[in-house]
Amino acid sequence: MTKETTDKKELADMMEKTARGPFAPVYPILAERFYRESFLKKGLCIDIGSGGAQLGLAIGKISDFEIISLDINKYALEYARKNAMSMGLGAKFSALCGDVMELPLDSESVDLCVSRGSFWFWEDGVKAFAEIYRIMKPEAKAFIGCGFGTKEILEKVIEQMKALNPEWNAKRLKMFQDNPVEKYEGFLQAAKIKNYTIEDNETGRYIIFSKPLN
């Protein structure tokens, strides 16, 4: 195995451990909210930078959406496939290895785009948001960001993560400070996305937008 391969595998292993452990209560809360606020009952939902697809699969569990899990790291997608099978959602699940900046999907093909904890890592924010907008159907909705659901859940996550890594919360807060809301407003405007909302509060940040009817 090359160093790059080992690093990718280690990153996927670490994220999966966190997702199954301290982060586990976060996904159902976010999923319920995104599903409810999509005002859709079924269609195609993509979880971008999905890791083990905990968010996408939580949406799949409570809805008739088909789920695509997209990640740049193929080792994360191995977890996503296993998770889909163990939840009995294999029939409506597919995994796609790719970069958000060049999504391997047709224009106007997706009804709901969700993403958690991935946008920090996108090299070109304008390209990434333009790609997400491109694949959205008219009236599709997107929820892109990083959140922990509720203040109570976040407090528990902080407690558990601190026991594993005392620096974790300081690093989390630094991510938000180093990537201010204005930076994302710039990306959205350059990508020609209008009518967006950026929620930024103690539980996280979510960029929410929809595509108007043609």
Ligand X SMILES: C[S@@+](CC[C@H](N)C(=O)[O-])C[C@H]1O[C@@H](n2cnc3c(N)ncnc32)[C@H](O)[C@@H]1O
Residues found near ligand X in the complex (CB under 6 A): 15, 19, 49-51, 54-55, 71-73, 76, 99-101, 116-118, 121-122
- Is 32 or 139 the residue whose CB approaches ligand X more closely? 32
- Is 128 or 188 the residue whose CB approaches ligand X more closely? 128
The answer to whether 142 and 208 are in contact (CB under 8 A) is yes
- Is 86 or 195 the residue whose CB approaches ligand X more closely? 86
Minimal distance, residue 10 CB to ligand X, in Å: 12
Minimal distance, residue 34 CB to ligand X, in Å: 13
Minimal distance, residue 84 CB to ligand X, in Å: 14
- Is 9 or 139 the residue whose CB approaches ligand X more closely? 9
Minimal distance, residue 213 CB to ligand X, in Å: 28
- Is 105 or 139 the residue whose CB approaches ligand X more closely? 105
Hey, what are 127's tokens? 């390209």
Nearest one of 16, 58, 7 to 36, comparing CA atoms = 58
List, edge to edge, every strand of the sheet that includes 197-201. Answer: 93-97, 64-71, 42-48, 110-116, 136-147, 204-210, 197-201
Minimal distance, residue 19 CB to ligand X, in Å: 4
The answer to whether 117 and 172 are in contact (CB under 8 A) is no
- Is 44 or 125 the residue whose CB approaches ligand X more closely? 125
Residue 40 Cα distances to 63, 64, 65, 150, angstroms: 9, 9, 9, 23
Alpha helices by DSSP H, the chain: 3-20, 26-38, 54-62, 74-86, 125-135, 151-164, 168-178, 181-190
Minimal distance, residue 214 CB to ligand X, in Å: 28
Q: Is 46 helix (H, G, I), strand (E, B) or coil?
A: strand
The answer to whether 140 and 113 are in contact (CB under 8 A) is yes
